[in-house]
Structure 1
């Protein structure tokens, strides 16, 4: 995978998105095409940190519980590094990371970037909705009040329970599976989907990045030298700072044209993380297939299902 990635990843951002997004920043453009094709109301659900195996678990749960539930399956690539501030901003803005360089280390501009994309594509600001930090059933009545307004045409919604579970994981992927199952049992996911369907939204579900199990190789003690101190990646603002990483960490350099020129990631090797030696964690930020390939699916409900 890594050989293919180094050879071809730089070609992905410019590929056409008409048949489906190849990368997450293609998603808004694809949804705009779907609106032009007659899908008047669209909801984009972004499950922060949802890996493909975890999507399959949720999909199978819904298939058993929700009558008429079907899925048009697909997948796309996250941006590298597979960090929320990089890949999720790309997802909501429709931009490459170098085009939002001033906010690349935060998610605070997502709502305005989402609104700006849709305003550039013919909608009024009042027709565009964005909400993050959604994860519990008791939040859904407030959401319904917003999405049920006749003026709302597109809704971008961040569900962050998976990311919260992953960052608190003590028992690896197996423990995460159990916690996702318990979360599904609360009815949140099915209630959210049925709510959107009831208000005539075409529902698309994706993620900003996945996650992978990794073993600690030791912390990089560099103080404030690293701009973003992730578990699977560190980013630096200059060549000199990037070169300060000790060689024994075996960090990988992979330069991508779509990143700002002063945003230089160094990645941990496969199965490794910049955390205390031998610690076992589940993390993201790196180059693995599990972190990089995310679901992009359309969720349908058969109207005649009983």
Structure 2
């Protein structure tokens, strides 16, 4: 263990001799002072790892000394020790970012615990987390060999995300590599599960998860009422781990009532999945019933321009015309700020829908911009970037205002995204769609082991572009690449975030219902 240097400041320091001897026997080095003024002088010429500071001293008080210490070295941990339990002293000390707060009389073990908590915390947490994951690894591996239902896949994926977030700060990269290999194996097995079961989810009287097209009817509508307004936020392209990264900021204002991840339809892409949410229809039926609102991959023009129209139609079909609703799509910072500024004007709505496109823009710009590639080089960085955006976004401002106005909050997404690592060769004609994780067209040639293929799109309620057109969806972390200019194409798109295919990250996505804290 590295030697730990402690500065202990107390006008009755002689009475603490047994405590100091106890620490010195454990190889801590303790320097003592009898006043705040003396402590500040000692700190000018010496380096310490932590300060124990008495609050009630003649001359400079503990709080005044604390303020001076923090001005000179804000990162130095200070533990306040006091006889007083007065609330204002605690609040003042906490406001000055103390590391701990102990009430006299203190015993040596309290002091030792505070040292461990503040100076050895990272190592202890790292060791315990590693040990716990090693035990859980075997259980996850066993679960992975037996998982056979969509509910079990949700549970397994939640476990993997939990451990991924737990392990991201530990100092043992080998553990993280083990988890990554376990996630890859899970995605291989998940691909087989979806290949076998996905078409049956659209057959009558078959047990199936909530999917994009029945999400609104089954999950949102039961939450709506005239008594309490609802804010439905659809953050485009939001993975389950990204939701977990910024959930703590939402929890400051909202208490979670329920969280039930649901499944994106295939293709797990915006024009299919999000249109399905707002229309309450699968793409095949959107094309047939609303040809004026639906566009296929090869059609010109925007593919998500009619979500508000689809929502209006679905509200009427479900007999919800008595509920006043409005729809907003935020595609840039300016439009986000404008809605946040005018949010109070939405208080008369029973349902306010906000589609927020930031994460989608981020993931696409990662492909195009070297700066974003650097910032989001892996899933940990991608979570961190999402968290940083959310903390400073107009979306959080809207959520805070919604809480103050008593809105129920629903947060969800249309699909997730995956960091693609490996190319899979595909050949198609000039009308083949361009997406990297799915293709639709005629005469597709591909590696069968790499894809889920729907040779008859009708079986999974997708439109056919022509008589012989099919859909293929990339599995695991693959992305489709054409043989022409292959090497350039592969180096350009490798390690970018894409969606549209079959993976846990793209298909198992968050849906959370929250109520405002009083």
- Note whether the superposition's TM-score is higher than 0.5: yes
CA-atom RMSD in angstroms: 3.0
2:419 alignment partner in structure 1: 213
2:309 alignment partner in structure 1: 112
Distance change in 2, residues 1:177/1:186 (3 Å): same
2:460 and 2:448 map into 1 onto residues whose CA distance is 27
Residue 99 of structure 1: how far off its partner (Å): 1.2
Deviation string 1:12-60 (CA, Å, 9 cap, x unpaired) is 35689xxx97112222213223336x66532221110001111110113
Residue 160 of structure 1: how far off its partner (Å): 0.9
Q: Secondary structure at the match of 1:80?
A: coil
2:388 alignment partner in structure 1: 182
1:253 alignment partner in structure 2: 453
Please state if 1:10 is matched with 2:196: no
Please state if 1:293 is matched with 2:492: no
5+ long unaligned stretches in structure 1: none
Residue 155 of structure 1: how far off its partner (Å): 1.8
Please state if 1:35 is matched with 2:224: yes
Distance change in 2, residues 1:117/1:287 (3 Å): same
1:158 and 1:195 map into 2 onto residues whose CA distance is 17
Deviation string 1:145-190 (CA, Å, 9 cap, x unpaired) is 5523x2x222221011111111223123233223212212315343
Distance change in 2, residues 1:15/1:178 (3 Å): farther
Higher normalized contact order (CA 8 Å, seq sep 6+, divided by chain length): 1
Equivalent residue for 2:495, pick from 256, 277, 280: 280
Given that 2:230 and 2:409 are in contact with CA atoms closer than 8 Å, whether structure 1 keeps it comes out as yes
Q: Secondary structure at the match of 2:440?
A: strand
Residue 217 of structure 1: how far off its partner (Å): 1.9
2:204 and 2:399 map into 1 onto residues whose CA distance is 30
Given that 1:12 and 1:23 are in contact with CA atoms closer than 8 Å, whether structure 2 keeps it comes out as no
Distance change in 2, residues 1:25/1:197 (3 Å): farther
Residue 72 of structure 1: how far off its partner (Å): 1.8
Q: Return the structure number with greater helix share.
A: 2
Residue 70 of structure 1: how far off its partner (Å): 3.1
5+ long unaligned stretches in structure 2: 1-189, 297-302, 367-372, 482-488
Please state if 1:80 is matched with 2:269: no
Q: Secondary structure at the match of 2:497?
A: strand
Q: Secondary structure at the match of 1:229?
A: coil
Distance change in 2, residues 1:11/1:179 (3 Å): same
2:428 and 2:217 map into 1 onto residues whose CA distance is 40
Q: Secondary structure at the match of 2:431?
A: coil
Residue 77 of structure 1: how far off its partner (Å): 0.5
Equivalent residue for 1:132, pick from 329, 337, 353: 329
Residue 143 of structure 1: how far off its partner (Å): 4.8
Residue 127 of structure 1: how far off its partner (Å): 2.1
- The worse-fitting range, judged by mean Cα deviation, of 71-80 and 116-125 is 116-125
Q: Secondary structure at the match of 2:210?
A: coil
Given that 2:340 and 2:395 are in contact with CA atoms closer than 8 Å, whether structure 1 keeps it comes out as no
2:11 alignment partner in structure 1: none
Larger Rg: 2
TM-score when scaled to structure 1? 0.82
Aligned residues: 289
Please state if 1:198 is matched with 2:404: yes
